[in-house]
């Protein structure tokens, strides 16, 4: 450990004196305690949060007895796996602590859940961890650094490797292959050749993992600092074929007679351009929509006479594919609908060429987008990946114009809440109707009229409704 790295760990432990305090507590009881895994890695990267992970030779019941009088709260949610959790407030920070007994687990090769076996050595515990950058430890309170698998050097060079043979590591827990892609996105590390080879060979084993766990890793990957790197690794390793097959499907073969934009690379670029517009941190809705907005293209590609290529209605097909995939991965229902609807709407702007839309068309654009309008603005802007600077500037000016039109109409008409000028009660009173489907039809007519003409006065709305009722033969 060089001086700067030791300083990083020392700074961590100074910021969190409870680590040493906890170490002294365990030492007094005759046990060892080590800060371990992601806590050490993140300390070395200067990005530690308020979660601290420890490992110890104490057994779970002994850990509980030591923590009970010291911590503010203790929980045993993970005790079946040898983990005891606790929280402790210190110097204005609430630290979340997990302490796990040394492990020496055995796997059956069918499930990712091990047969939990407690070990008796730190090195034995570290060798079973997923990657060498997570297999470093710092003892407390004496701060001895343990790195038997070269995690420090791997971290310094951005190399992702496994403590044991990667084939054994991934056989024990196939989710670790997805974690490799996630770390590529979060930490900008590159898998060692043997790790990539093992991922390619063992990619089908990811099917042993539940959809919920796969989704959780995909979310973390997408919310990382460089998701393109993680997604590229998913595709290059073959994992994407099993967890997100719509992504590699975007790699469409092209020939010299039918040229079109590389849809796969285009989608990754749109993702990066969407990220560049984020204002309040990583936005999962925006990132998913940017990545998946063109997934309907492979199924809709048609070669036209004269060498052209078309993708008619790919937004409709894409929205259906997104719903199917996100449901299979157990994404929340609202998130699924939002991403699908953004995909369905993302081409609508291209009808705005030259600013020729009527006010009615602008109202419909806003109303159809509803609360998704801010995301739709960003997605449409990100979807411009042309290398022609003149065309790119023209597209941006056109969307600037549309946003200005929206703002002007919104100021005049409260576009955020486009509703009929008469509510259901007023409709029933005017037409002398009881509650029922006819009221819904009348409401829908007035809504369409509102979109077409903008706000009406009360007298105008009542006159229009009465005229409509007469045309429809509706008598109260």
Residues 273 and 357 in one domain: yes
Residues 446 and 401 in one domain: no
Residues 15 and 81 in one domain: yes
Report helix angle 211-222 to 284-292, nearest 10. Answer: 100
Residue 239 in any domain: the answer is no
Residue 342 in any domain: the answer is yes
Residues 388 and 428 in one domain: no
Residues 255 and 318 in one domain: yes
Residues 462 and 340 in one domain: no
Q: Which residue has the higher pLDDT, 91 or 374?
A: 374
Residues 268 and 336 in one domain: yes
Q: Which two tokens stand for residue 102?
A: 């040394």
Band (pLDDT 50/70/90 cuts) for residue 299 is confident
Residues 35 and 143 in one domain: yes
User: For 33-73, how does the pLDDT look when each residue is reduced to its tens digit (9 = 90+)?
Assistant: 999 999 899 888 878 778 899 999 999 999 999 999 999 99
The answer to whether residue 349 scores a pLDDT higher than 80 is yes
The answer to whether residue 476 scores a pLDDT higher than 60 is no
Highest mean pLDDT among 14-28, 85-99, 441-455: 85-99
Express as a percent the part of the chain with pLDDT over 70: 88
Q: What is the pLDDT of residue 355?
A: 64
Q: What is the pLDDT of residue 257?
A: 40
CA 7/CA 81 separation, integer angstroms: 33
Residues 360 and 435 in one domain: no
User: For 92-128, how does the pLDDT look when each residue is reduced to its tens digit (9 = 90+)?
Assistant: 889 999 999 998 765 555 655 666 678 889 999 999 8
State the average pLDDT over residues 405-419: 66
Task: Residue 51: give its domain's CATH number.
Answer: 3.30.460.10
The answer to whether residue 386 scores a pLDDT higher than 50 is yes
Residues paired with residue 302 on neighbouring β-strands, in sequence order? 310
Residue 125 in any domain: the answer is yes
Can you give the residue range of the structural domain that contains 384?
A: 245-417
Q: Which residue has the higher pLDDT, 461 or 150?
A: 150
The answer for residues whose C-beta is within 8 angstroms of residue 464's C-beta and 6 or more apart is 446, 449, 456
Residues 342 and 437 in one domain: no
State the average pLDDT over residues 299-314: 80
Domain boundary among 142, 157, 172: 157
Residues 290 and 366 in one domain: yes
Residue 222 in any domain: the answer is no
Residue 363 in any domain: the answer is yes
Q: Angle at CA 43, nearest 5°, toward 39 and 47?
A: 100
The answer to whether residue 348 scores a pLDDT higher than 70 is yes
User: For 143-173, how does the pLDDT look when each residue is reduced to its tens digit (9 = 90+)?
Assistant: 888 999 999 999 989 999 999 999 999 998 9
State the average pLDDT over residues 424-445: 78
The answer to whether residue 86 scores a pLDDT higher than 90 is yes
Residues 114 and 142 in one domain: yes
Q: Which residue has the higher pLDDT, 102 or 254?
A: 102
Residue 8 in any domain: the answer is yes
Domain boundary among 157, 190, 218: 157
Band (pLDDT 50/70/90 cuts) for residue 4 is low
State the average pLDDT over residues 188-199: 97
The answer to whether residue 213 scores a pLDDT higher than 90 is yes
How many domains does the structure of the chain reveal? 3
Residues paired with residue 2 on neighbouring β-strands, in sequence order? none
State the average pLDDT over residues 408-419: 62
Band (pLDDT 50/70/90 cuts) for residue 307 is low
Domain boundary among 417, 434, 451: 417
Mean pLDDT computed over every residue of the chain: 86
Band (pLDDT 50/70/90 cuts) for residue 250 is very high
State the average pLDDT over residues 406-412: 73
């Amino acid at each position: 450990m060089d001086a700067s790295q030791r300083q990083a760990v020392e700074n961590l432990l100074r910021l969190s004196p409870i680590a040493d305090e906890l170490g002294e507590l365990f030492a007094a009881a005759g046990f060892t305690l080590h800060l371990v895994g992601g806590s050490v890695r993140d300390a070395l990267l200067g990005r530690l949060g308020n979660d601290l992970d420890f490992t110890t030779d104490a057994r779970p019941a002994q850990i509980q007895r030591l923590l009970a009088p010291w911590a503010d709260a203790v929980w045993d949610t993970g005790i079946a796996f040898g983990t005891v959790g606790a929280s402790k407030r210190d110097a204005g920070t609430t630290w979340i602590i997990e302490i796990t007994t040394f492990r020496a687990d055995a796997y059956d090769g069918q499930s990712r859940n091990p047969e939990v076996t407690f070990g008796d050595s730190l090195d034995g515990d570290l060798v079973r961890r997923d990657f060498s950058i997570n297999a470093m430890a710092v003892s407390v309170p004496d701060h001895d650094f343990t790195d038997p698998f070269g995690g420090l050097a791997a971290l310094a060079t951005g190399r992702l490797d496994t403590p044991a043979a990667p084939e054994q590591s991934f056989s024990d827990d196939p989710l670790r292959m997805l974690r490799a892609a996630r770390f590529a996105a979060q930490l900008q590390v590159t898998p060692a050749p043997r790790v990539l080879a093992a991922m390619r060979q063992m990619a089908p084993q990811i099917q042993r993992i539940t959809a919920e766990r796969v989704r959780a890793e995909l979310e973390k990957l997408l919310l990382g600092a460089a998701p393109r790197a993680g997604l590229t690794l998913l595709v290059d390793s073959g994992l994407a074929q099993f967890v997100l097959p719509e992504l590699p499907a975007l790699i469409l073969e092209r020939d010299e007679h039918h040229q079109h934009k590389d849809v796969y690379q285009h989608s990754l670029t749109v993702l990066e351009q969407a990220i560049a517009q984020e204002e309040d941190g990583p936005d999962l809705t925006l990132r998913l929509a940017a990545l998946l907005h063109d997934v309907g293209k492979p199924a809709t590609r048609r070669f036209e006479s004269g060498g052209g290529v078309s993708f008619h209605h790919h937004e409709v097909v894409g929205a259906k594919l997104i719903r199917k995939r996100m449901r299979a991965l157990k994404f929340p229902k609202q998130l699924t609908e939002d991403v699908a609807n953004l995909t369905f709407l993302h081409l609508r702007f291209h009808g705005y060429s030259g600013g020729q839309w009527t006010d009615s068309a602008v109202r419909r654009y806003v109303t159809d987008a509803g609360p998704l309008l801010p995301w739709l603005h960003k997605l449409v802007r990100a979807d411009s990946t042309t290398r022609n600077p003149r065309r790119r500037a023209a597209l941006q000016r056109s969307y600037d114009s549309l946003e200005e039109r929206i703002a002007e109409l919104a100021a005049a008409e409260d576009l955020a809440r486009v509703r009929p000028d008469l509510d259901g009660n007023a409709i029933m009173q005017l037409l002398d109707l009881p509650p029922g489907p006819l009221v819904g039809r009348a409401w829908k007519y007035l809504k369409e009229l509102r979109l077409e003409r903008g706000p009406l006065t009360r007298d105008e709305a009542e006159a229009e409704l009465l005229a409509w009722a007469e045309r429809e033969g509706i008598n109260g």
